[in-house]
Amino acid sequence: MSNALYDQAVEILERNDLGHYTVPTHGLYPFQWNWDSALSALGQYYVDESRAWTEIETLFDHQWEDGMVPHIIFHKEDDGYFPGPDVWSTNRPTPTTGITQPAVTGFAVRRLYERAKDKDMARKRALALLPKIAAWHDWFFRARDPQGTGMVAIIHPWESGRDNSVDWDDAFERVPTEGVGDFKRRDLDHADPDHRPTHEQYQRYIWLVKHFRSLGWDNSKLHDASPFRVVDPGFNAILLRSCADLAALAEELGEPELAAHERAQAEKGLAAMENLWSDKHQQYLCYDRAAETLIDSPSIGGLLPVFARIKQSRADAIAEHLEKLGQRVKYMVPSHDPDAAEYDGARYWRGPSWLIVNYMISDGLLRDGHEDMAARIIADSMKLIHVGGFAEYFDPMNGDPCGGPHFTWTAAMVIEFLKLTGEVA
């Protein structure tokens, strides 16, 4: 059974492989997405080691001069997606969006390097990527933390990777809808409207894009000019984990200065993250930087920090929190607390379980000595695939598949879990 699943996962990776990059799924997402590529490369490694490096190199070939790595690269035209290159108008040689996504590449590249069978190739390719990833991290702390707090803000919900989370609802209300004009969404041609964001949310998404475009995509202006500025602990944890992993990799590759720089960023950020801990919820919370308030919303964003090296006592508290969540859902880990009024088990990031999140959380739990909870999360992830197939995400109560089918990063995570549990040698 497990081997059949492995074969299916490989088939999906191949089906979505366009040579030097992979689409998340044909139809719904016909371009290259930033953190999808980084996480998918982990699974690709087992199929073709060299191809996995290419996935990440392609992403960084489109890095901006200021260090930003865009959230989508529009490698070729496809009018089945909205908003396309004409809406973003970023004036790049290959069109890209003008915002970014979770910085998980530092983590992925270290893992690829450690696993590498072909160490010479890995060393060469990791060395070339190292300064580029470091430039992206520096960009984050410069452009998205101009006050030097140690925590970066997202300026568009799509940057978080958790596009439609309840966490953004109140802050998002501050984003106008006036003057956005008419547009035709294309996501509804490919997915169930009940799974997708609402029309009003889409108007606000587009308002922000047009606002940033009117500022010439100048990242020295965008942070302060955005009515939406939110510090997401999950997003920061991914960046800080990548800083720490890049530091370890740099050390290994004989780049001690870069290592020290990355390590310092990770330490400063982890200390600052403590301001977001909530005793009431026993998890971290988002912070609305524009309104200067914590956001009282118990989402997965506040549990994801276990992926970074937070204090052991916090990791223990998060494991306990997960334990309690596990009594209320059949399939871990719900992206929002099922007892919250806003919970919706089928709608995009407002409840459903995602395998990539399960992977990052279980990785942190394993490191921090919470093997039982990690095992539950991994076992649930595999059950979801048996029940729902290789979907984009799943209903945590009944395992119903949601969003797009034949999903690349879902397949990559299945390969990861099968290897991790030793079900596939």
Q: Is 73 helix (H, G, I), strand (E, B) or coil?
A: strand
- Smallest separation, CB 29 to ligand GLC (Å): 5
Is residue 69 a contact partner of residue 136, using CB atoms and an 8 Å limit? yes
Our CB check for ligand GLC shows the closer of 129 and 391 to be: 391
| Options 232, 392, 400, 416, the catalytic residue | 392
Q: In sequence order, what are the beta bridge partners of 25?
A: 29
Please, which residue, 164 or 265, has the CB nearer to ligand GLC? 164
29 binds ligand GLC (CB under 6 A): yes
Q: Which stretch binds ligand GLC (CB under 6 A): 28-36, 113-121, 129-137, 336-344?
A: 28-36
CB of 82 to ligand GLC, least distance (A): 12
From the list 5, 22, 24, 359, which residue makes contact with ligand GLC (rule: CB under 6 A)?
Answer: 24
Contact predicate 207/177, CB 8 Å? yes
Tokens, residue 415: 């390969």
Helices marked H in 226-370: 233-252, 256-273, 312-328, 355-367
Distance of closest approach, residue 135 Cβ to ligand GLC, in angstroms:
22
Listed as own residue / partner, the contacts of 45-54 with beta carbons closer than 8 Å and 24 or more positions apart are 45/112, 45/115, 46/415, 46/419, 47/10, 47/13, 47/14, 47/415, 49/116, 49/117, 49/118, 49/121, 49/122, 50/118, 50/121, 51/17, 52/112, 53/112, 53/121, 53/122, 53/125, 54/20
Contact with ligand GLC (CB under 6 A): which of 49, 57, 66, 163?
A: 163
For position 187 contacting ligand GLC by CB under 6 A, the verdict is no
Judged by CB under 6 A, which stretch of 32-40, 81-89, 235-243, 250-258 contacts ligand GLC?
A: 32-40
d(CA 306, CA 188) in angstroms, rounded, equals 34
Query: Which residues from 122-161 bind ligand GLC, rule CB under 6 A?
Result: 161
Please give the residues from 376 up to 405 whose contact with ligand GLC meets the rule CB under 6 A: none
Neighbours of 223 (CB within 10 A): 19
Q: Are 402 and 192 within 8 A, CB to CB?
A: yes
Question: 163 an active-site residue?
Answer: yes
Nearest approach, Cβ of residue 69 and ligand GLC (Å): 13
Q: Closer to ligand GLC by CB, 35 or 53: give it.
A: 35
- DSSP structure class, residue 420: H
Nearer to ligand GLC, 277 or 409 (CB): 409
The answer to whether 178 and 155 have CB atoms below 8 angstroms apart is: no
Six-digit token string for 46: 């087992």
Determine which residue in the list 6, 33, 217, 287 makes contact with ligand GLC, applying CB under 6 A: 33
Cα 97 from Cα 210, distance rounded (Å): 12
Q: Do you know the residue count of the chain?
A: 425
66 in catalytic set:
no
DSSP state, residue 67? S
* Residues contacting ligand GLC: total by CB under 6 A: 7
Select which of 57, 163, 170, 252 is catalytic.
Answer: 163
Shorter beta-carbon distance to ligand GLC: residue 161 or 405: 161
Query: Contact region for ligand GLC (CB under 6 A) — 33-41, 45-53, 287-295, 362-370?
Result: 33-41
Q: Does 170 participate in binding ligand GLC (rule CB under 6 A)?
A: no
Taking CB under 6 A as the rule, which mask of x and - marks residues 35-64 in contact with ligand GLC?
xx----------------------------
Q: What tokens appear for 289 in the block?
A: 């930087």
Q: Which residue number, 144 or 406, has a Cβ lying nearer to ligand GLC? A: 406
Identity of the residue, 163 or 169, whose beta carbon is nearer to ligand GLC in the bound complex = 163
162 closest CA partner among 352, 406, 398: 352
Q: Which stretches of the chain bind ligand GLC, using CB under 6 A?
A: 24, 29, 33, 35-36, 161, 163
Q: Which residues are catalytically annotated?
A: 163, 392
